[in-house]
Chain A
Amino acid sequence: MRPELKEVQLLEAYLQGRLTEEQQLDVAVRLLWDQDWQQKLAAQKRAYQALRLAGRQQLRRELDALYVRLFG
């Protein structure tokens, strides 16, 4: 995997608290001074938020279709 993707993976694991204690701390410290990382982390959180909204919308559509099929 190219380094950019590894970084996405690392920040994901950090947000989920899946890193070792030492690694969590490393990332947390880097986030204190690295503005580029701060922005990437903020964007990544927003990406997950967008996916939750899109998923919810899809589920709503599936439920609407089920309603029509079963009771419409």
Chain B
Amino acid sequence: MNATPSLSMDVALITDRDRTLERIYAKTFPMVRHYVKERGGTTEDAKDIFHEAMILFYEKTVQEQLTLTSSVSTYLMGICKNLWRQELDKRTRQLPLTESQAETVWEPPTGGEEPAPLKLMTFVEQLGDTCKSILVSFYYFGQRLEQIAAQHGYQNIRTATVQKYKCLERLRKAVGHLSIENFKP
């Protein structure tokens, strides 16, 4: 793999996620594992922080908020070093290990009226496989409608667009009841 930043990294990540993630994983994880193990962590610790770093990297890339000035591996190593430092800090202060660094690092604190993440995700599951796949592919994984139309056997982008909004409307209705419930005293 080329060590210089690739101009089409974001495109490759979105259009060919499996293979692109695999390539990055195979190249970078051994370095992260080595780093963490040298500093008192386990392979499991290395895996956890590497996954958090990959999630941050993916989200930033898809949201076009990332301009790489180094290779992907160097960038990911940088995040991992930071996350591991925070983790060690936490351990010395004997605070319990949190499930997701990504959530604590990147999401604003939620108020008491916010529904639990698991509850929200249940509504996405209840949409069924097709709607879930269309919406998550588009809104989270950043796939273009052309790709989504092809994957789901839609004739054209227009059909895929209509389907996408139908699914979103269903999800909006489902979580809408949740919002109203939450306003009740």
Contact = CB atoms under 8 A, between A and B. Distances in A.
A39 B180 contact: yes
A43 B120 contact: no
B140 A51 contact: yes
Contact of B178 (A46, A52, A70): A46
Interface residues of A, number: 34
B79 interface: no
B179 A43 contact: yes
Q: How many B residues are at the interface, by size bracket? A: 35 or more
B55 A46 contact: no
B80 to A, nearest CB: 13
Given A47-B172, A49-B120, A53-B121, A1 B162 contact: yes
B172 A56 contact: no
Contact of B55 (A9, A54, A59): A59
Interface stretch (B20-28, B34-42, B66-74, B147-155): B20-28
Given A46-B120, A48-B139, A55-B141, A63 B51 contact: yes
Given A51-B124, A53-B117, A60-B55, 14 more contacts: A9-B165, A42-B176, A42-B179, A46-B115, A47-B175, A50-B124, A51-B171, A55-B140, A59-B54, A59-B140, A62-B21, A63-B25, A63-B55, A67-B29
Q: Does more than half of chain B's interface fall in helix, strand or loop, or is it mixed?
A: helix
Interface of B: 17-18, 21-22, 25-26, 29, 47, 51, 54-55, 58-59, 102, 115, 117, 120-121, 123-125, 132, 135-136, 139-141, 162, 165-166, 168-169, 171-173, 175-176, 178-180
23 contacts: A9-B165, A12-B168, A43-B173, A43-B176, A46-B175, A46-B179, A47-B168, A47-B172, A52-B140, A53-B121, A55-B136, A55-B140, A55-B141, A56-B102, A56-B140, A58-B140, A59-B140, A63-B54, A63-B55, A64-B51, A67-B25, A67-B51, A69-B22
